[in-house]
A and B are shown apart, each in its own frame.
Chain A
Amino acid sequence: MSDEMVSNKKYRDKQKRKDGFISLFIGFFAFVWIFPILWTVWTSLRPYNEIISYGIFSWPRKLTFDNYVNAVEEMQIVGYLINSAIVTIPSVILTLFFGSLIAFVVTRYKFRFNLTILLLFTAGNMLPIVLTYIPVFWMFIWVGELFGNRNMFYNNYAGLILVHVAFQVGFAAFVLSSYMKTIPKEISESATIDGANVFRHYWNVILPLLRPALAALSVLMTTWIYNEFFWALVLMSDDSKRPITSALRRLQGQYVTDFNLLAAGAIIAALPTVILFFVLRKQFIAGLTLGSTKG
């Protein structure tokens, strides 16, 4: 009896040590991750003057929200937020639509090249976008000129949305097809026997079952596309059409950059995604592990 208690206690001690170690480990890395963000917040509260006079690591003499007030004024934030919405919302909807279509075909129908197609779409994601941007740029210009309007895609929301859809659809197809494989084949079989055609099978049978996956994926996609800056930069020549990330660039001068103001701007620009994350964090975490149990 006492023997058992001793070993129990030993076990519990061991477990406690283990837990302590794990907490320490996680705490350390959490700190490493959160530190730059805390530092940005800290920087955003200090006036520029103090930094140039006393250095970055000096003890603060004054903490203010002035940087935030100035950033909101300088950034013309509302216009850029609307631009971000114009780009992000259609991109996410189209990506999910096309991604689910591909996933539907490659998982529900057996034909010779279905795995190849899936791999092809996923492989597109592996290309670094800086490699593809010059060809994409010229493609947009040439296709536009073919129709007599250089700006049909270039310097146009249509082009930017198209690029986002093209680059994200591979990942969406990959994730959704993994998820779709977990939906029993029998459901599809009975739908077919009941006389559902292909589109009805997709729209009325599979799509409703896909809802959790779509929700999770849309949160991820929104964050990615919202934070994306590169394509907007190279494919939009009008600054007034660029997304929120461009508003931040307004805060940088030709020579002198007020990093405290920039920090405040960065916090403001990051807020929507952070809020989105906290509101939908369940879906977010589901999204990260989506399809991980079956591949």
Chain B
Amino acid sequence: MNAPPLPPARLPAPWGKLIDRAQPVRFSFEGRTIDGLLGDTIASALLANGHWLLSRSFKYHRPRGPLSLAGQDANTLVQLPEEANILADLHPASPGLLVTGQNYNGSLDRDRDAILNHFSRLMPVGFYYRAFFKPRGIWKHWEPFIRKKAGLGQLDLDFRPRYHDKAYLFTDVAVIGSGPAGLAAALAAAEAGAKVLLIEQETTLGGSLNWARFGASGLDAEKSRPLIGQVAAHPNIRCLANATCNAWFADNFLPVISGARLYKVRARQCILAVGAFDQPVIFRNNDLPGILLTSAAQRLMRLHAVAPGKRAAILTGNDDGYLAALDLLEAGIPVAAVIDMRPENDPHAAPIRQTISQKGVRVIPGAAIHEAIPGGPHSRIAAIDVRRILEPPHPKGTLAPQGERLACDTLLMSAGYMPAWQLPCQAGGKLHYDDTRARFALTGLPETLTLAGSVNGLFSLPNTLADGEAAGKRAAAALQSGNTDTATPPPPPPEPPVNTPWPIFPHPKGKEFIDYDEDLQIRDITNATRYGYRDIQLVKRFSTLGMGPLQGRQSALAAARLVAEATGRTLTETGIATARPPFMPEKLAHIAGRAFTPYRHSAMHRRHLEAGAQFMPAGAWLRPAYYGKPAARERLIQEEAAAVRTGVGLIDVSTLGGLEIRGPDAVELLERTYTFAFAKQPIGRSRYALMTAEDGVIIDDGVCCRLGQNHFYLTATTGGVDRVYRSLTKWNAQWRLDVDIANVSAAWAAVNLAGPRSREVLAKVSRDLDLSPQGFPYLAVRAGLVAEIPARLIRVGFVGELGYEIHIPARYGEHLWDALMQAGAPLGIRPFGVESQRLLRLEKGHVIVTQDTDGMTHPAEAGMGWAIGRKKPYFTGKRSIQILEAQPPLRKLVGFTLPRGGPVPLEGQLILDERNHITGAITSCGDSGTLGKIIGLAWCAPSQSAIGTQLPIRCESAPGGRLLAEVVALPFYDPDNKRQEL
């Protein structure tokens, strides 16, 4: 049974700056109807309707209500049907929303796992390191059970991504945060002529001007609010509200998330006016619903017109708690007492204590809370046990043995502030602890970055405004002169300290929460140090401190204090764990953006589709694997191969890389970067081109055509051309050669017209070419018209038949394809794909770089020693190849055959020796219809490479687990090369 909601608690106008009372918003929470208002967050609407139990804690499943109401803690995490871990205090309430709690067993109100709360003694810090593994093997059974309890919300596994995009913004000055400091900074920079981008996480500009009180009169914020209008109207300022700057990346590169968009902002100067985190006080049951940070209550009242309770107490260590008391009184909420952790004689406290006393509110100085007592409706707090803080020699945080019980349903607390350190620290800032003010301050920021306002340690409104203005002027001046030192303002007037040095009050029964998100109590942190995990990073890793969904915004300071105390070090030495991006949790969709998958189609792609091609990816390209139905794959590949061997076939080779190499040093560049010799290569001839890396390993190959004395057309592999291009341009620059290198891969389309009847087909569509074997011999390069298209033709023979590679401007791709298919039709021309081409080249014993070679292959062991210009003084890899060739070979690439009929070995299967050691693997294997047997290439031991050797192939499906192949001479087909030279 669920507890009935508390009666509605809306305050009258002018409370509630953000809500529109005329526009109701109805949604559901845990199946109950919630009536909120436009402008409400999910959390504010729930609180307005008396639902204070929002979530269950991570480990002990304790009931949790709002803490910061600023998206800084996991207490407000709720579930939407298609999204987990929603921050209810930031997510707007909208009509029809189906909100539920998460991480409970049963219902949010009656969570069966809440029993874990009573067993917390059995879950001391790091308990899982000491349990669940004895006897050996038992962890396997514990783990699934423990895993089931892990995690918070539930992902919608059927969710389909929606539209998200990205945009770039450029600005002179980016100001992060539009509180008073940010507003003043933006205005000052804009007035000085800078283009300003103001980024605000909340829906409206103003930051604390919208909810903080600043002074007893309550008028201070109002006086400064016109700044908001001035900024919004300024022509030099662009405001992005509802936008979160989620990190600082090098050189002021700022990712800003707004709506469904990620802005990537480049700012010449950046001003961080990101504020400070209100810090909880650590005492027993400080996590009960109804206990919230002072600023949270003020936000709740001012922004959403929700009364935090019926009778409040305040626990504070500075004047802000008193100001909140004045807010409560103004809203008609009785204040039971202001408990001030500052001593009775604190001179800074006197004026405000007097003010509040005059209002009839009781002040209890020098005191704190021993424990909060549950028992209110909705798991809320019912009372507090207030006790005097004992002075030294009592240990820090000791309270008097007796105290006073004060009834209240609400407690506002604040131990002071922690600068929002994440972005500054990402920018290189360091945290130093200032003992006199009991706070961390940031130093060591880059010249292009300025802090302003409370992140800079300033809290009074005049100081904050002045600091912002100075930061704006400084940034604008730096744009002009690059000098940031000119406008150093006078130091601000001193402010009283705002931080309580030791707001930590241990209780013998524990449950004083340091880290709400991870359910960590004081003893978890101190015990971590007692176990020997003394470095703050080790404390974090051992206890999971700060590893929760919001990464420890509320726990870092208190934990640093505890660890410093326990290990006898200063807070500066102790430090806090590294602040990594992102600042706020960010959806993967925001960062991924629109899913662009680049791909390339050749100029003839449509023709392949029309011909029923099955495609395979080749880098970014799609290439026809074969033409026809997958069911007939094997037959089709054999038919295509047969067409090339006996008649004529046509394959699209547009994906081959193409590079134009021109200039006085063109030969020199090629001589140095490829293994072969090119100096004496005649114009109008092509030559095989093999590239090795410094370590002598084969990395690419292609054909090099000499078109002129200083002009080459070079092809490279489909996958390798970009790397080759990069490498050539790099060497051209490094060696200071005079060569123009252009990657023209996409500018040219190309086909290979191959087969004994290819000459006849080509003859039909050309009129200015001498196609005779003498006029256009093997390896020759010619320019001429093919189907009236200006073309480059190369007589090369990858598939081992008479053939022509025809390269034409890409736009004529389809025309060329059509012309050749039409001309070849009477001769039975057949398009062929990559699969049959692979088979054909295998028959011819040609190596495919990266298929038959691996990251270790040097030319000699692949039988390609012939492709090395031995007389050249240098080429990349030469020294290594010489060393390698002088050593006894370690392996050899050989051809093998097997009779048809048995199991066909697969590429990747292993070659073994007589001792069952692995000596190599099959790199290519196929069923050759032409030769009537299984053929393949494989690496093996040199001792196995002699012709006629029986090669044992590891094959689990073969009898005895082995197949025996026979090493044969390469090539398998046409060993005298008669056919390609026809």
- Tell whether A pairs with B: no
* Chain B residues engaging chain A, CB cutoff 8 angstroms: none
* Chain A residues engaging chain B, CB cutoff 8 angstroms: none
